[in-house]
Amino acid sequence: MAIPKTGLRPLDDLSAFLSPFASLVRRPESRHALERYTTGLLADLSRKTASEMGRAVAGTSGQRLQEFLTNTAWDPREMGQLRVQRMVRCASQGKGIQLVDDTGFAKKGDHSVGVARQYSGTLGRVDNCQVLVTTHYVDTTFDWPIAAQAYLPEGWAKDRARRKAARVPSSIRFQTKGEMALKLIDLGLAWGVPTRAVVADAGYGDQPPFLKGLEKRLLPYLVGVAASTRFRLAEEVERDPGDGPTPPYQGRGRPRKVPRLKDRLPSREARVLLEGLPGDAWRRIVWRDGTKGPLVKEFARLRVYRVGLRGTPLQIAGWLIGERPAEGHVGERKYYLAWGLDPLPLDELVELAHTRWVIERFYQDAKGELGLDDYEGRLWTGFHRHVALVMLAHCYLALRQSYGPSSTLPPPTGAFPPKGPSKRHRPTEGHP
């Protein structure tokens, strides 16, 4: 991501970009702090803490920036809504995808809000960290963050003393990451994000309540699933004659029972179903050019039904998709479930499954360039305000790189055609 060089004077186009957000705060000093904090996030600093930015950015101080984060009256969610609605107008081709993921921030101690020993996919292990659940928009041209919220572990949610010390709002209760993701998706829909599908990894695909929530909302999805996830072949379920009438009791022994569907048609693991396919069922598909050449693997799909609690069959049919290294390559096998996307051919489903790298790149840019993981405060409000400002800075860069580095960024009430695909949207995913 190209970061503009910040000097003693404010960036002209940044001031124009921030002008609609000035209405979120009342005092001129707070509007100045908004501009200075965002400038600090864009500055060439090793760490983007309030104190470090206060020392490096002219016309402010660490104390003023910290005050803006913790005590000034403004709502990060209102900022998110205003930002997203502007991005929908100015940086959306429509019919986009909401990506769901979470990222971890390694932390010492136990006072920072939500910090606990927990698994972080970012760290690849259980460690002392905070976890942030996010949603991200992507279409054929643009991508930008939608919304985010800190995951509050159950121990934290029930600890009144820690909640009070971190100023966690009373309305915040323990939720699984899947439940949080559904609320963030709903938030994006309420803000007008054009959503044709939801894409997530197996951390969410293996949560049946999350999938059920998407189905209830009639939101098509493509999610990763574990190799051990169980399904039933659609052709077997649809060919099954049904339970039929119960045989008449003959007056001897126990009454006979008709075997239930789950007994007649045992479910099988994803890996077993796909490994049973013949070789010609697998297709070699190139879905994108990466930095080291074409990204190519072999894929196959099966029509399946999801399995509910204790093997109960669910009348939810979709495509189980298998991914394996192409001949001559090495790599892990992966599994996906697509629902509500029946018209799409396999190559388009494969491309959809691999849009997740966009949100991973966002985390990389937001942490490496904008200080997403540099917040050192302990409070719920301060943490979420810092995240909101990082997302604001990221959207500024997205517009700047799509429309050009000028002081004529798209106005709040409209948009003009971009010059062309942004450099930021060129593939950077590694070779398989």
User: What is the pLDDT at residue 266?
Assistant: 78
Q: Residue 396: which H helix or E strand, with range? A: helix 380-403
Q: Considering only 16-20, 209-213, 261-265, 364-368, which range has the smallest mean pLDDT?
A: 261-265
Q: Which amino acid is at 19?
A: S
Q: Nearest-CA neighbor of 20 among 86, 72, 88?
A: 86
Whether residue 19 has pLDDT greater than 50: yes
Please check whether residue 413 is in contact with residue 19, taking contact to mean a CB–CB distance below 8 angstroms: no
Whether residue 4 has pLDDT greater than 70: no
State the CB neighbour count (10 A cutoff) for residue 125.
10
Whether residue 429 has pLDDT greater than 70: no
User: What is the pLDDT at residue 423?
Assistant: 38
Name the percent of the chain lying above pLDDT 90: 61
Query: Which phi and psi (to 5°) does residue 245 adopt?
Result: -75, 150
> How many angstroms separate the CA atoms of 40 and 371, rounded?
9
For the chain, what is the mean pLDDT? 85
State the CB neighbour count (10 A cutoff) for residue 256.
10
User: What is the pLDDT at residue 421?
Assistant: 39
Could you tell me which residues are beta bridge partners of residue 300?
322
User: What is the pLDDT at residue 418?
Assistant: 44
User: What is the pLDDT at residue 404?
Assistant: 73
Ranked by mean pLDDT, the top range of 145-154, 265-274, 293-302 is 145-154
Burial per residue of 146-158, b for 16 or more beta-carbon CB atoms within 10 angstroms, e otherwise = bbbbbbbbeebbe
The model carries a pTM of 0.86
**DSSP helix, strand, coil percent of the chain (3-state; round to 5):** 40, 20, 40
pLDDT in tens, 400-417: 888 876 545 565 543 334
Whether residue 263 has pLDDT greater than 70: no
Where helices occur in 7-61 by DSSP H, the ranges are 12-18, 28-42, 50-56
Q: Quickly tell me which residue has 């007994």 as its tokens.
A: 263
Q: What is the DSSP letter of 110?
A: S
Whether residue 336 has pLDDT greater than 70: yes
pLDDT in tens, 264-281: 677 889 999 999 999 999
Q: What's the Cα-to-Cα distance from 114 to each of 339, 375, 431, rounded to whole Å?
A: 33, 13, 35
Burial class (CB in 10 A: 0-12, 13-18, 19+), 247: exposed
Whether residue 427 has pLDDT greater than 60: no
Q: Nearest-CA neighbor of 288 among 410, 187, 426?
A: 426
Whether residue 424 has pLDDT greater than 70: no
User: What is the pLDDT at residue 413?
Assistant: 47
User: What is the pLDDT at residue 260?
Assistant: 56
Whether residue 152 has pLDDT greater than 70: yes
pLDDT in tens, 158-194: 999 999 999 999 999 999 999 999 999 999 999 999 9
Q: Considering only 150-154, 161-165, 239-243, 392-396, which range has the smallest mean pLDDT?
A: 239-243
Whether residue 392 has pLDDT greater than 60: yes
Would you place residue 432 in the very low, low, confident or very high pLDDT band (cuts 50, 70, 90)?
A: very low
Mean pLDDT of 42-68: 91
Could you tell me which residues are beta bridge partners of residue 320?
302, 337
Q: Quickly tell me which residue has 């939500």 as its tokens.
A: 114
Question: Chain centroid to CA 381: how far?
Answer: 21
* Number of residues written out for the chain: 432
Whether residue 259 has pLDDT greater than 60: no
User: What is the pLDDT at residue 420?
Assistant: 42
Q: What is the CA radius of gyration of the chain?
A: 25
Domain boundaries, the chain: 221-239+258-354
Would you place residue 34 in the very low, low, confident or very high pLDDT band (cuts 50, 70, 90)?
A: very high
